[in-house]
């Protein structure tokens, strides 16, 4: 495992410091090898603390500046002005207009989505799996940013590494539930090699972000499942019958 810290950036989020961290450059070992930033994992707490401190330093902050939530696959958004004390609120997105606060989300196949309105000085971060995306967490994040002074048409959203359609096999019941919500969502499914549907999670998120009327939306096009050397993946760990999995951290700050 490479020892140099690595994080992906998107020019569209300029000038804000941000990063979609890979698993490179961490202190964890075994199935968590690399930069596992998930305190909720069964990894050694000391290693997770070191990893989070390294990620914070890359964001130009101390580990106490990292603001996160207890993620529950909801559409709940928290507006923060400082890192949140324990117990963390049950939510899946954060927004702020406060300099120095580092907004973070943890993922391992779900989508990390970073938001910014550079002209208003408002940022956001969302954890968007299929449940949260369908429930409206992305649109709720945009609305929360607007309440802080952002303008919808000025907001940029970038989806980081997540599971791609080629790796996301689902059941017929899963697809049926989606089509019951909206028939046109059939565009986000295709036939897979095993005769089961393959679901396009980032495609759905991009569609909903653009339908919400924001200024720009894109995906970095990195698949967590397909690149074990760089990314943790819940589904890959499940297929390998591993006991647990690491969590990737994504962050943005003013």
pLDDT in tens, the chain (254 residues): 888 999 999 999 999 999 999 999 999 999 999 999 999 999 999 999 999 999 999 999 999 999 999 999 999 999 999 988 889 999 999 999 999 999 999 999 999 999 999 999 999 999 999 999 999 999 999 999 999 999 999 999 999 999 999 999 999 999 999 999 899 999 999 999 999 999 999 999 999 999 999 999 999 999 999 999 999 999 999 999 999 999 999 999 99
Rg (CA), the chain: 17
Sign for the pseudo-dihedral over CA of 161, 165, 170, 176: positive
Statement: the pTM of the whole predicted model exceeds 0.85: yes
Q: Quick check: bond before 87 cis, omega within 30? A: yes
Cα separation, 225 vs 164, in Å, equals 8
Quote the pLDDT of residue 238: 97
Residue ranges covered by each domain of the chain: 7-164+200-253
β-strand 66-67 against 102-107: which pairing, if any?
Answer: parallel
Q: Which ranges in 101-233 belong to alpha helices (H)?
A: 130-135, 137-147, 172-181, 201-211
Task: Say yes or no: domain 7-164+200-253 is CATH 3.60.140.10.
Answer: yes
Residue with tokens 């559409």: 75
Quote the pLDDT of residue 86: 86
Cα separation, 181 vs 37, in Å, equals 34
Sign for the pseudo-dihedral over CA of 101, 88, 50, 32: negative
Helices (H) and strands (E) in the chain, counts: 6, 13
**Lookup: tokens for 127:** 């954890």
Number of C-beta neighbours around residue 243 at 10 A:
8
Quote the pLDDT of residue 3: 86
Quote the pLDDT of residue 85: 87
Cα separation, 158 vs 206, in Å, equals 9
Beta carbons of 16 and 116 less than 8 angstroms apart: yes
Burial 19-30 (b: 16+ CB within 10 A, else e): bbbbbbbbbbee
DSSP of 150-185: --GGG-EEEE-SB--GGG-B--HHHHHHHHHH-GGG
* Burial of 44 (C-beta count, 10 Å sphere; 0-12/13-18/19+): middle
Number of C-beta neighbours around residue 90 at 10 A:
12
């Amino acid at each position: 495992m490479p020892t140099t810290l690595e994080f992906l950036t998107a020019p569209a989020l300029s000038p804000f410091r941000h990063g979609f961290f890979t698993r490179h450059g961490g202190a964890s070992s075994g199935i968590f090898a690399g930069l596992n930033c998930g305190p909720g994992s069964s990894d050694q707490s000391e290693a997770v603390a070191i990893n989070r401190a390294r990620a914070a330093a890359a964001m130009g902050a101390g580990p106490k500046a990292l603001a996160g939530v207890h993620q529950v696959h909801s559409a709940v958004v928290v507006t923060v002005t400082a890192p949140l004390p324990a117990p963390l609120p049950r939510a899946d997105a954060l927004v702020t207009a406060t300099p120095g606060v580092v907004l973070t989300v943890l993922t391992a196949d779900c989508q990390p989505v970073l938001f910014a309105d550079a002209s208003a000085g408002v940022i956001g971060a969302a954890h968007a799996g299929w449940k949260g995306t369908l429930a409206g967490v992305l649109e709720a994040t945009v609305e929360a940013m607007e309440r802080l002074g952002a303008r919808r048409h000025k907001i940029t959203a970038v989806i980081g590494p997540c599971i791609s359609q080629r790796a996301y096999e689902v059941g017929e019941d899963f697809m049926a539930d989606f089509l019951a919500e909206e028939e046109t969502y059939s565009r986000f499914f295709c036939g897979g090699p095993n005769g089961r549907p393959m679901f396009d999670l980032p495609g759905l998120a991009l569609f909903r972000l653009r339908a919400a009327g924001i200024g720009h939306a894109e995906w970095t096009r990195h698949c967590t499942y397909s690149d074990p050397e760089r990314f943790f993946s819940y589904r890959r760990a499940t297929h390998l019958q591993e006991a647990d999995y690491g969590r990737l951290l994504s962050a943005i700050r003013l």
